[in-house]
Amino acid sequence: MTHLIIDASVAIKWVVPEPETRQALALRRHRLFAPDLLVAECANVLWKKVRRSELTPKEAEMAARLLEHTDVELAPMRQLLEAATTLALVLDHPAYDCIYLALAERLSCDFVTADQRLQAKTLPTGYKSKVIALAAAEQ
């Protein structure tokens, strides 16, 4: 069983049909980790989908309920703050995303995302983990 970090762009596909939902669901056979930031990010995505009329409020609430019971091991963000800040500065990329990268480095596992902007980033030399596009993740 592979250990992977996932972000909200992957988790949300488990409860809302989107492109690459099949690939996201296939990842659930692995041991999955995320910073506890995942909870707030998923709630925010569901809120946005209601605002854009992509989901009804009831659908968003059901999706949130389902996500509450997923088998993702959540790690506290506090101990990732310095590493995430350093990565944000080096990559010139938002620190929110770098929290996931910092956790991947701490746990020495790869990070899977559907976020194309983040996929395009090149990690610093010597970084133990890699960013994997959801579409290219091993199934």
CA distance 91 to 77: 19
Is the pLDDT reported for residue 1 higher than 70?
A: no
Return the pLDDT at 133: 85
Task: Give the closest residue to 101 by CA, choosing from 1, 3, 7, 26.
Answer: 7
Return the pLDDT at 139: 55
CA distance 111 to 3: 9
Tens digits of residue pLDDT in 94-129: 999 999 999 999 999 999 999 988 888 777 777 778
Return the pLDDT at 138: 66
The CATH class, in words, for 3-37+72-136 is alpha beta
Tens digits of residue pLDDT in 7-61: 999 999 999 999 999 999 999 999 999 999 999 999 999 999 999 999 999 999 9
Domain boundaries, the chain: 3-37+72-136
